[in-house]
Chain A
């Protein structure tokens, strides 16, 4: 069963706190993604990972960093969260290129107070 999981599903943090969002996939996909979705803006790419320790900035990387130490796990880290990072965060994975189907996780709702 092809699956992308995200933990936690819901998170409330105070401004300045650190945030760790975790993503896992069981399909041995090479490529993984972190997006955020905000009303009227669709899905915006934060970071893309082509494989272990092979990460590239997406369109809105500022304020975020990522870690991929195992092919099946991809973490998104917010050092000192800001209120404008309140959003829904989606992780996705694909076999390799952008012409392969992206499978999305269920999303994490982050509220930064």
Chain B
């Protein structure tokens, strides 16, 4: 089964609004959570990440919320802009034995309309 799941394949938000992207995971040993952004015909790039010892991390217009008991994390983008239009991939991983493996979700295509 899919260990990391993004239930919404697409999301449309008005310019200036808040974009909320959601991700669910199954493995409660995961302790690292990340969001990557991917433009069409481009490679994914890391946006923001958080370790399991915090519930929230802010970076400019981006905030990651982590709900460990619910095995859920989300990315909030405030003041959404047309250039935020992209595919957003969530990813999670555990660090048992120095694991280097990240599990990615299927991606959510965000469209910010002006």
Chain A residues with CB under 8 Å of chain B are 4, 31, 33, 35, 40-45, 48, 50, 58, 90, 94, 96-99, 101-102, 104-107
- Find B106's partner among A40, A58, A104 (CB 8 Å cutoff): A40
| Distance (whole angstroms) from the CB of B27 to the closest CB of chain A | 12
| Complex partner residue of A42 from B32, B94, B99, B105, CB under 8 angstroms | B105
- Report yes or no: A31 in contact with B44, Cβ–Cβ below 8 A: no
Instruction: Name the B residues within 8 Å of A99 (CB-CB).
Output: 32, 49, 51, 93, 95
Residue of B nearest to A50 (CB): B100
Q: Are B102 and A102 in contact (CB under 8 A)?
A: yes
Q: Specify the chain B residue showing the minimal Cβ separation from A105.
A: B43
B69 at the interface (CB under 8 A from A): no
- With known contacts A97-B95, A98-B32, A98-B102, A104–B45 Cβ distance under 8 A: yes
Given A41-B106, A42-B107, A98:B46 Cβ within 8 A: no
CB distance from B55 to the nearest CB of A (A): 17
Q: Which of B77-106 contact A (CB under 8 A)?
A: 89, 93-95, 98-106
Give the CA-CA distance A87 to B56 in the complex, in Å: 35
Residue B42 interfacial (CB < 8 Å): yes
- Complex CA–CA separation, A31 to B49 (angstroms): 19
Q: Is the CB of B101 within 8 A of A43?
A: no
Residue B9 CB within 8 A of the other chain: yes
Q: List 29 A-B residue pairs with CB atoms under 8 Å apart, sorted by A's residue number.
A: A31-B100, A35-B104, A40-B9, A41-B106, A42-B6, A44-B104, A45-B102, A45-B103, A48-B100, A50-B100, A58-B101, A90-B44, A94-B100, A96-B98, A97-B98, A98-B32, A99-B32, A99-B49, A99-B93, A101-B46, A102-B44, A102-B46, A102-B102, A104-B43, A104-B44, A104-B45, A105-B43, A107-B41, A107-B43
Q: Mark B30-52, 1 if CB is under 8 A from A, else 0.
A: 00100010000111111001010
B54 to chain A minimum Cβ distance, whole angstroms, is 13
For A96, what are the chain B residues with a Cβ–Cβ distance below 8 Å?
A: 98, 100
Separation of A99 and B102 alpha carbons in the complex (Å):
9
